[in-house]
Amino acid sequence: MTKSILIVDDSATMRKIIMRGIRQAGIDNADFKEAGDGIEGLKAMEAGTFDLILSDINMPNMNGLDFVKEVTTNVASPPPIVMITTEGSEEVINEAMSRGAKGYLHNPFTPEKIQEVIGPFLN
């Protein structure tokens, strides 16, 4: 069964790296949608449903922390959200989790770490 994954990141290159990493992790039944910031992510959610959202934290227009809060507060059955970030401070991670994120990946990441963190949400 195909899983629908929304990747929210202001870097198109990073979105491609994330997609490639997911495939390298052995998750090849994924259909990807992309958004360049939290506002585009919310619009994508209005247009479809997702099994998982992967979101950067530092983005223009609407950052990942605000995006997570919007999704978890305003979507009836929000999908799990995993933060992908180079921002590794415990304070930022705790803030993301308190707003509703279900996990996080530090960039750079390995296919093994991707499988460990997001695999359970796609089974």
Q: What is the pLDDT of residues 42-87, one digit of tens each?
A: 999 999 899 999 999 999 999 999 999 999 999 889 999 999 988 6
pLDDT confidence of 29, banded at 50, 70, 90?
confident
Question: Rounded distance, CA 13 to CA 20, Å?
Answer: 11
Q: What is the CA radius of gyration of the chain?
A: 13
Over 80: is that where the pLDDT of 88 sits?
Answer: no
Phi/psi for 96 (5° steps) reads -60, -45
Over 70: is that where the pLDDT of 22 sits?
Answer: yes
Which region among 29-33, 34-38, 82-86, 117-121 has the lowest average model confidence (pLDDT)?
A: 82-86
Over 70: is that where the pLDDT of 97 sits?
Answer: yes
Q: Which residue has the higher pLDDT, 51 or 88?
A: 51
Domains of the chain, each with CATH number or no CATH: 3-122 (3.40.50.2300)
